[in-house]
Structure 1
């Protein structure tokens, strides 16, 4: 597989003819149902051979295939890069094997929908955090209709883990975390209730997703994770945590997260490396590559890289320009973002600095929209970071958001290791 960027005048038929693959198979791999592609759109091509085109070089082909120039040349018995000519067929070599554990969040909906989704994607997922249980001020837990999802995950050799959050009716509550963790009685009750949940429902571990932890509760949060892990580990349960991305110790709203203390306490750390721009802010890249890289470097200087699961967003945001230069954003899946560009027939641009696609359009009311999202190119760039920094693996929020090319990309870059 390689990634092609649509040029002015291209059609799916002409692209397929160029690379000797049917346009129907291109549509299937990319999840598109219409042929009205737009310039700048990334198209994954299901082909293991590359047909050299006018203007190609080993460097440009390397950029499309994510294979080093040296590997391309060696595989195809080239010693002189200038011998490349139009019409040559180059075999695309596989990347050196890199085994990972993968994590994919599933938001519980209905038993039928949960079963269908998990059966579809579980071959590529090591751990499935089911979202979500939340805790109350007395240390008790909410309920969740997750029995079908748990059993389906196990039947398909993916480890189900329970996601525990501090969500309330008004959103994530740092005050709730503060209240419970500052009471040894409530903290211990919460730990026992989590243990009881795992054993009763036959989960294989837990994922703690406490967001907005106060700076004053930094050590209490790390200590809670350590106590929880000590309670669960003797019984074979894993303890994982989802934490926001940090690039320094100087970010005031992230002072509650001690990467070193957290990393030493748990088995897996899912870094939510996204939402640098979000629905409530101004338009911009959701997961700019330079910030993701800085986050990884910050993290692995404070914890074992083999505990780090790099989180990928399977979504973007569509911001509407309102009066007074204000914006209102809504989250959309990566596939839906591509569909909107196609529907409005606007070109997609790609920021080399941020390694992220974006576009603008005007709706039927004349309002301007700005969309930043993730595509095959931006995902591939982050997958290279997982390999470069030798991380434990990658994960996604959330697998219910449509990103049709993700499975093929995962198989290209990684060897997925199952844990059950």
Structure 2
């Protein structure tokens, strides 16, 4: 397996000949579309086969909403061990709320493919955003907390889930210990009936780090309370923020260094971003809004506009500029190069796996990369 960076003058067929690989296979793995134009700087995964079973990762999870395309889900499941369904909510009284759309079909398809579906629990308010007042009402009330845990214990086996992923954000500082207690009690109860509990953690880099994402989460205590933990190592570059890499490797490494120092690495998974952002320029704080795009879509935009893809040496992430209708844009996204760097970090840190946010858009080369020798690849150029 090799990651190849497209050079000036390359074509699908010249690369195919240089590496003695079928052009059809290269196009399939990398989701190239006729007439198979390439962008200079584009990363291609060159492999003869499409492995469909993880050889080294114990856990590879891919989050999905119930409105995922059945075809995309079918294409993704062979490379996953877990399918966290996003998401279930709850009221301040601890009444469990199912997704707006039926998720039964996803559970059925996942189980048929040998993949464990996971119930993702989120505290979304009526506006669809994370609501810390809702969290406060539940974790500070024994009645509400016990009610929610009781319902989770019932619905998990009833619907065929393998456990619960607790994804709470913007937890108030005053609810920090109560939130940890909720995770601990849920984990103990779920384990007694054979289920597992994981908790999503914001990208914290020290125990003293403050802010709305960090004040309510005690990494060390949550690592002890839950069976597993996912590091949400993405969203440095975000929709309303200034243009930058979504998951810069230098920042991801800082999070991993801290997390593995307070949580056993064998409990940790690294979050992988399966998306990028397209910002119009110039960026104006409070005004500019980026468009979310898929990693494959990003490359297609570069090809359509005839611009080269660059690779930031610090962030270890691809980006490019293009102009459309008189407006300059900058795109930051992820590709097999950037994922390979993060997989190497995961492996070298002794972490147990990865969690992909999210699999709504198919990134076949990335999925194959994860499932092939723990993401180990060579790099090269064909000329």
TM score, norm. by length of structure 2: 0.90
1:70 aligns to what? none
> How is 1:14-413 mapped onto 2 (pairs within 5 angstroms)?
14-34=14-34, 35-47=36-48, 98-109=56-67, 113-114=69-70, 116-144=71-99, 145-170=102-127, 171-248=129-206, 249-253=208-212, 254-321=214-281, 327-363=288-324, 365-413=325-373
**Moved beyond 3 Å, runs of 4+:** 116-119, 322-326
| Alpha-carbon offset, residue 148 of structure 1 | 1.5
For residue 289 of structure 1, report the CA deviation from its aligned partner.
Answer: 0.6
Cα separation, 2, equivalents of 1:340 and 1:224: 45
- 2-structure distance, mates of 1:302, 1:255: 16
CA contact (8 A) 1:285 1:373 kept: yes
Q: How much has 1:324 moved relative to structure 2?
A: 5.2
Conservation of the 8 A alpha-carbon contact between 2:203 and 2:255:
yes
- Alignment check: 8 A CA contact 1:134 1:164 kept: yes
Aligned to 1:12: 12
The structure showing larger relative contact order (alpha-carbon pairs under 8 Å, at least 6 residues apart) is: 2
Instruction: Report if aligned partners of 1:320, 1:370 keep a CA contact under 8 Å in 2.
Output: yes
Does the CA contact (< 8 Å) of 1:100 and 1:414 recur in 2? no
The CA deviation at 1:386 is: 1.3
Greater shift in the superposed pair: 328-337 or 19-28 = 19-28
* TM-score of the two chains, using structure 1 as the length reference: 0.83
The offset of 1:195, in angstroms, is 1.4
Q: Return the alpha-carbon distance in structure 1 between the equivalents of residues 253 and 311 of structure 2.
A: 18
Deviation string for 1:325-382 (max 9, x for gaps)?
753212111011111111111110001111100001111x211111000001001001
Query: What's the CA shift string for 1:195-232, capped at 9, x where partnerless?
Result: 12213212110111111111121111111100111211
Contact 2:76 2:362 in 1 (8 A): no
Residues 98 and 387 in structure 1, CA contact (< 8 A), matched pair in contact too: no
Name the count of aligned residue pairs: 363
Choose 1 or 2 for highest CA Rg. Answer: 1
2 CA distance for matches of 1:402 and 1:155?
Answer: 20
Q: CA deviation at 1:404?
A: 2.0
Cα deviation for residue 323 of structure 1 reads 7.6
Q: Distance in 1 between matches of 2:329 and 2:192?
A: 53
